[in-house]
Structure 1
Amino acid sequence: MLDILIIGGGPIGLACALEAKKAGLSYLIVEKGTLVNSLYNYPAGMTFFSTSEKLEIGGVPFVSNSIKPTRAESLEYYRRVLTSNELNIHLFEAVLHQQRKDDHYEITTTKAVYLAKNIIIATGFYDVPVKMNIPGEELPKVRHYYKDPHFYSLQKVVVVGASNSSVDAALETFRKGAEVTMVIRKDDISDRVKYWVRPDIINRIKEGTIKAYYHSHLTTIRENEVDIQTPEGLIAIPNDFVLALTGYQPDFTFLKTMGITLSADEKLLPEYNAETMETNQKGIYLAGVVCGGMNTHLWFIENSRVHAEQIIAAISKQTAKVSV
């Protein structure tokens, strides 16, 4: 029987494994995708907002070519952390459900059944895109994830949103020859956009090389055009692709399956003890971005690394009580 089953092989899941190993606890990481799956699905040329030392886990130095590391550098760093510490992980194995059995849990995955005294959920928030729920959203031309700009060369591209991911996609596809139109619900580019990028997109919009509709939203997507509701009325423009980068959210269905209580309001905050990170389910803990519910800007790698220490300290204390 395991002391801990860790669900999620991202940076925080790895941090939990490092702390568990340091404490002499038996553990297994189960990840439904590839190693640090969310980071893998980030845009190919992405640069982090955080500096490399703020992305470090387990006291392992993260050395990057620039102060702010790239996606490629982060993938290599977390892989080396995993392999150099010989962490126990199963990739491409999804957790289906759990059942409480006296003093432990029986966890069923797509490949096996495990027994564990404790469960840590570190599943992040990048797996479930926030949908627009409009006609045509199911068309193949609509993408909720953006990977590489070259694919959109010489195409008419609508980018929905004004966050970091939207702005990066708009600028990169524009520079590969796309005709870019941004559709933005508010009156400006988000102030959360990376400070060295924000002036660039604002200037491109001012000069007219990237078109932007503020206080606007898509209403319908068709094969060769889209409808945009603007302050001046409904307009239709020609379109080849829609990058609906409207944000992402934790897998709330999975959290409910695990028996975790969510707040009744739109924030859907999971219930947990801020000191131990234990949820309303005894022996089930939360770590990382998933703790914020729909407030996905609340937790990052740099400020949630400490969750690993909090959780393992709580489990170690509980284990010591049982042993006495």
Structure 2
Amino acid sequence: MKICFVMYPWEKVEPGKDTTMRLIKECVNRGFEVSYLTTKDISINKGKVVGKCNKLISIETEDCVEFYHTMQFETAVKDLTSFDIIFMRSDPPVDPLLLNMLEMIEDEVFFVNKPSGLRKANNKIYAASFDDGKESIVPQTLITRDVELIKQFVEEYNFERFIVKPLDGMGGKGVVLFEKNSIGNLSSIADFYINHDGKPQPIICQNYIEGAEKGDVRAIVINGEPIGAIMRVPAAGDHRSNISAGGSAIKHDLTDHEINLCRQMGERLVKDGIYFTGIDLINGKMVELNVVSPGGIVPHNNVNGNTDIQKQIISMILEKYEEFKK
């Protein structure tokens, strides 16, 4: 079995808490040939999608940090169709030109997640498409470049609290919480987010879900099935529960409602070629969908007594790979 990880540069990996590193090590433990490359290492040459791949040569160790620091590589340019599975693990947002190249071979190689699926689902517009107007799956959501439309949206639904965030944000960065009585600051902040890049960009305005101050649930969903979760608790004085923003993780058992919601969304995700997802839930509603490089393995293992959920992830991905080959 030959597996390639398309990811961030090796030197930027934080081995003590990196999800990709756990997936890589699990593949190596199973005796697979594992390589990695970054997005800038992918090219088209003579009609073939090729990459400057770094094949991993590792020592035997149980410790993931030692595994990372002692790693050696053999580098060679390879046709990417020579791999059985390609894991897409680069940081969002995804380069659309990269997706164009990888879509050329997505019928020949099993991708986690599929490039055409990432094109659909790698931004918050896809998540907002689950809004049925009744808040049964996601909170009421507006995506727009129009500041006046945001004001009308907030006033129409009379939100007590709401959030504004950039469309391509990650890790809780740029999320601003508004109180009803502070709406006077909305125009300046929304205008900044929309126009700060010189070209108007859409932003998200979303109803604030009660209970968010207590944290959110990160569900790990593989092949449409939720297999584990953690509760992420905000740091003192912060409304963001993202661990990268200072939040912490505690044990969480998914409720029947949360399981059903993940499965309901999972049907569509799998249909679109999204096999590995992080679904963030607050008070029984989905508030974030992570499809490009979902994390959470390390905190999940830590709070659940080192259950090594990466073993289950790889096993379930291999099951889907066998379906792909048929």
TM exceeding 0.5: no
Structure of greater Rg: 1
- Provide TM-score, normalisation by structure 2: 0.32
Higher relative contact order (CA 8 A, sep 6+): 1
Q: Hey, which of these two has a bigger chunk of strand by percent?
A: 2
Q: Normalised by the size of structure 1, how large is the TM-score?
A: 0.32
Higher helix proportion = 2
